[in-house]
Amino acid sequence: MLNNAVSSIIQGESGKVNNDLFEIYRKSYFKAIESVYTEDIYSELVTRFKYNAIQLAAAKSYKVTSELADAKALLQGKQFEDEAKRIIQKYNRYQAAEYNTLTARCRTAKQWDQFKAEEQLYQNIEWLRTRSANPREQHLRYVGIILPRNHPFWLSNQPGNLYGCKCDWKTTDAPVTGEPEAIIPPSKGLEGNPANTGVLVTNKHTYFRINDAESKEIQSFTSKYIWNNYSKEALRTLRTEKLSLSIANIDFPVLFSRSGINHLFHNKVISDEFTSLKNIALPNINEYFKKMEYVSSHPNNDLENKMVVQYHYFKIKMFEKDVYLNVRELTSGELLPYALTPSIRYK
């Protein structure tokens, strides 16, 4: 894939975000996330992490693609080949650190949620010494600190917020020790508690130091990638699953048509970010079916559309937003999910 990437750039066939490079980076980041979240891989937090990883992979691919393109404009033959190899190897070396960092950040987020569950028994958290044989000085100052779980210190300071950090933490019923005398700033891009922010790598990372035009290029690439890949996944899964929705205590079978799935994916809701998160979550929409709230039904007044009897609306809490699923009831008695909207719309 690396050879394909370099060849496509040499031949002028690559876009500004090289897809082969993107896939190498994305797969590595997803592997880091899924190595920690082995069971709850469809949770909204994991969906947020995967969206962040897709953005990170696209931004990194953009940066590497740009460096290779710049080298191609200046160098020829063996000189370019040597420079291309140097660029690729440089970013490959970064990949191991990035994988370990994302793994650590996911582990921190998962532990934080576990700490919430343990709060009735253990209200405090203790910072533990690193597992590293050669620990760095910075986080050694935190070892032994014990603070309540709801203390603001934990919102910006956690194990894993420095590159290569191998510190740990645990819940405890030991007494509070007080705050540290000095706060250690996190590495650029590792700000905030990922369990609360839903972000593993923030826009302060060097890969995201880009201008508006570059940002739009990356956003366009990620939106298309998410639409293409997750719509295909939805077509594979939803069209074969037997699902139902309840209206007035009567269960109706749900039909997912190709056009209905495509419309759900094309459907922009609230913002580009929310739309992308929604699209990543759609192949697993059956999990939302379990928690949806029926709101109302309205007859179909469009005389030209004779296949639809009426429209039903269900409220969904999705990524901390209330949205409404528009479901068409067909003359066959089946329900056809058709659109997600921020409010109920009907003719």
55 SS3 class: helix
d(CA 25, CA 95): 8
Under DSSP, the state recorded for 345 is -
CB 254 within 8 A of CB 334: yes
- Alpha-carbon dihedral sign for residues 194, 199, 205, 209: negative
d(CA 76, CA 64): 18
The pLDDT of residue 303 is: 75
The pLDDT of residue 347 is: 53
Q: 341, exposed or middle or buried, with CB in 10 Å at 0-12, 13-18, 19+?
A: middle
The pLDDT of residue 13 is: 64
Under DSSP, the state recorded for 282 is G
Q: Divide the 347 residues of the chain into consecutive groups of 10 and give the mean pLDDT of each group.
A: 73 77 94 93 93 96 89 86 87 91 96 92 92 73 92 92 90 92 91 95 93 91 93 87 81 85 87 93 88 90 84 93 91 88 76
CA distances from 5 to 13, 14, 65, 104, 149 (A): 9, 7, 8, 29, 46
CB 248 within 8 A of CB 296: no
Write out the two tokens for 163. Answer: 């590159």
* E strand or H helix that includes residue 96: helix 77-117
pTM of the entire predicted model? 0.91
C-alpha closest to that of 289 among 263, 321, 320, 327: 327
Write out the two tokens for 322. Answer: 């209330």
CA distances from 237 to 40, 166, 218, 243 (A): 18, 39, 28, 11
128 SS3 class: strand
First to last CA, the chain: 51
Instruction: Characterize the bridge pairing of strands 308-318 and 335-341.
Output: unpaired
Place of tokens 């190899």: 85
C-alpha closest to that of 186 among 204, 174, 173, 210: 204
Write out the two tokens for 232. Answer: 């295909």
Place of tokens 């460096």: 67
Residues 213, 218, 221, 224, Cα dihedral to 10°: -90
How many CB atoms sit inside 10 A of residue 250's CB?
A: 8
